[in-house]
Amino acid sequence: MMIGGVRVALPCSCSCSCSGSPSKNRRYGTSRRSILKKSLSQEQVNFTSPLSEEPLVGVIGGGISGVLCALFLEKRGIRSTLFDTGIHGPGGRLGTRVVHPDPLKFDHAAQFFTVSDSRFAEIVNAWMEKGLVRRWQGTVGELHSGGRFLPSPHPPKFVATNGMRFLPHSLLSQTRMVNVVRPCWISKLEPFNGMWHLSENGKPRGVFDAIVIAHNGKCANRLLMASGLPLIARQMKRLDLSSIWALLAAFEDPLPFPGITEVPFEGAFVRGVDSLSWMANNTKKLLISQTGGPHCWTFLSTAAYGKQNKVPQENIPSSTAAKVKAGMLEGVESALGLSKGSLPKPFYTRLQLWGAALPTNTPGVPCIFDPSGRAGICGDWLLGSNIEAAVLSGIALANHIADYFQSPGADPGEFAVGLYHEFQPLEGHDIGQFPGLGTEKKMSEGQAYELAN
Ligand SMILES: Cc1cc2nc3c(=O)[nH]c(=O)nc-3n(C[C@H](O)[C@H](O)[C@H](O)COP(=O)(O)OP(=O)(O)OC[C@H]3O[C@@H](n4cnc5c(N)ncnc54)[C@H](O)[C@@H]3O)c2cc1C
C-alpha cells in the first residue's frame, strides 16, 4: 500500500510479527486492561486423561523457535502440526523481502547472528554443512555520527545464505513428522475432553494432545485470554516489547562516504543518531556475486525513535510514514557525515513498523510449561533477544514436552516450569543481543540448557 508516497507494509493489526488479517483481529475489541483481567480470572484447565498412543502437538507460530521446537519433537519421535500466519513463508521475524524483476533483496528484520553457546554452535555447523547459513565476511562495525567507522572483526557473524526467511523454510522442507499449515492464523484454543481444539475464525484446525505457543505480543495475549491457561497467560502478559521502524531502500549507485568513493562497510551499528540504530548493504550481504547496482540497504530505527513515532502498524498515518522516512534518511546522511541533501535519492523504498520488535525483559528460563494444561511457550524472549535465544528456547521446550510425554506415571507437577519466574530487564543493542559485540552479558549456558538435556 502507498502512504504519502511511501510503500508501507501492513503485516498485522496486533502489533506482533504475525501477518494475521487486520479485520479478523479487530473483532476482539479488547483493551490491554480487559485482556489482563480476563486472563487472570479464567479457570485453570486440568487434563488428567491419558495421552493418545501417538501424541500430536500443535505448534502455533512458525518463527525460528517454533520451527526448532517442531524439529526437535520429531527427533524425539513426536508428530506436530505447525501453524503460521506467513503468506510468503514461515519465519516470523526472520523476514526477507524479494522484489522482482531486478531482483531487490532485503532482510527486513533479523540481519545476522553470532554464536555464544556450544550447542547452538553445533546446530550452526550442521546448517553450514548443508549450505543454509554462511559466515558473513563483509566488514561490520560501529558508525559514529559524522562518518567515523570502527570495524568490529570479532566475533564471527553468520547470515542465512539466501536471506533469513529461507532458513526456516529449508529446515521445514526436510521434515517427515511436521505438518506445516500456512497461512493460518489460529484464533481460538479450546480444551475439550482432554484435548486441545484449535480453530481459525470458526474453522476447525485440528485436535492436539499438547500445544506450544511460539509467538508473543498482543496476538498471543488475546489467544490466551480465555484459554484456561491463566498462569501461562500471566507470564505472557508480563513481556514488554520495543517497536522498530524498518526502511528498505534501493539506490542506483553505491552510497558515498567522505574522502572515499564508497562506504567502507557492509553493516554498521549506528551511534549518536536519534533515528537510526543499524544500516546494512543487503546486496553485498546476500547477492555476493552481483557486481554493480542496484544497492539494497536496510535501515533500522532506534527503539527510542520507534517509541516516539509509534502508531498502529496496520494503520500508519501518511504524515507519520512521510516523517519517519525523511527522518531515517536524514539519519543516514548524518551518520555517513554527508552534507545536508547530498544523500542520493533511492529509486525504491518500503517502510514497515515492527510494532512488537524485540523483548526488553525476560524471565530468563529456556521455556515455560504448564503440565496441567499440557501447554508450553517458547520464543526468543524467554532467554534473550536474538536468534540464538529463540533456537535454544524451541529446543528446550521440545525436549521438555518429550520428557513429559515419555514419563508415564510421573507426577505432572514435576514438569511445571517457568510459571512463576520474575522478569528482569534485557541488555543489548536495539536490534538484539550479539555477545562479544557490545555490553550485554553472555547468556549463561547453565541457565540456557538446564532443560535442553
Ligand atoms: C527489526 C528487527 C531486527 C532484528 N535483528 C536481529 C539480528 O540482527 N540478529 C538476531 O539474532 N536477532 C534479531 N532480531 C530478533 C530475531 O528476529 C528474533 O529474536 C527471532 O526471530 C524470534 O523468533 P521467534 O520464533 O521467537 O518469534 P517470531 O519470529 O516472532 O515468530 C512468531 C511466529 O508466529 C506467527 N504467529 C503469531 N500469531 C500466530 C497465530 N495466532 N497463529 C499462527 N501463527 C502465529 C507469526 O506470524 C510468526 O511467524 C531482530 C528483530 C527485529 C524485529
DSSP 8-state symbol, 412:
G
pLDDT at 26 over 70: no
The per-residue pLDDT for range 365-413, each reduced to its tens digit, is: 999 999 999 999 999 999 999 999 999 999 999 999 999 999 988 999 9
Q: In DSSP terms, which residues pair with 251 in a beta bridge?
A: 295
Pocket of ligand 1 contains residue 369 by CB under 6 Å = no
pLDDT of residue 72: 98
Q: How far is CA 356 from CA 158, 245, 451, in A?
A: 24, 11, 27
Best-predicted range by mean pLDDT (149-153, 325-329, 447-451): 325-329
Pocket of ligand 1 contains residue 84 by CB under 6 Å = yes
- Joined together, the cell numbers standing for residue 40 give 487472570
Q: What span, in angstroms and rounded, lies between the C-alpha atoms of 440 and 163? A: 26
Do the beta carbons of residue 230 and residue 36 sit within 8 Å?
Answer: no
- Report the separation in Å between the CA atom of 111 and the middle of ligand 1, taken as the mean of its atom positions: 12
- Report the separation in Å between the CA atom of 62 and the middle of ligand 1, taken as the mean of its atom positions: 9
Pocket of ligand 1 contains residue 95 by CB under 6 Å = no
pLDDT at 449 over 90: no
Higher pLDDT, 291 or 312: 312
The best mutation among 158, 212, 215, 301 to test binding of ligand 1, ranked by most ligand atoms within 8 Å of the C-beta, falls on 215
Q: pTM for this structure?
A: 0.91
pLDDT of residue 28: 34
Q: What span, in angstroms and rounded, lies between the C-alpha atoms of 327 and 321? A: 10
Sorted by where each starts, the structural domains of the chain and their CATH numbers stand as: 2-10+105-162+242-354 (3.90.660.10), 22-95+166-240+359-449 (3.50.50.60)
Pocket of ligand 1 contains residue 426 by CB under 6 Å = no
